[in-house]
Amino acid sequence: MVARNYRPPSGAGEIDLVAWDGEALAFVEVKTRATAEFGEPESAVDQEKRARIRRAAQDYARRAGVEWPRTRFDVVSILLDGRRPRIEWMRDAFR
């Protein structure tokens, strides 16, 4: 883990977590819902949200000196419905 709640100086977008996973720098969006009544948590990561995350990630990668091909976007979906939370980690979710 190298950053939490990263927001570029321009204020365009926010990244929940930034972490190294081997040679890849992962930009992670975490979505939590109490129930799936209005859809799965990951469904909230729509095209507009992805664009904001990408802009923030490009800023972070540039400042950190990380080449863009070494980055990826993950989504962690947490559903609290029921006795046990369901946690799903979707690697490379934006491809």
Q: Which pLDDT belongs to residue 95? A: 86
Q: Does 71 score more than 90 pLDDT? A: yes
Residue 37 — pLDDT band, cuts 50, 70, 90? confident
What the chain holds in terms of domains, given with CATH numbers, is 3-90 (3.40.1350.10)
| 3-class secondary structure, 32 | strand
| Strand-pair partners of 17 | 4, 28
Q: What are 41-62's pLDDT values in tens digits?
A: 999 999 999 999 999 999 999 9
**High-pLDDT (> 90) share of the chain, %:** 86
| 3-class secondary structure, 34 | coil
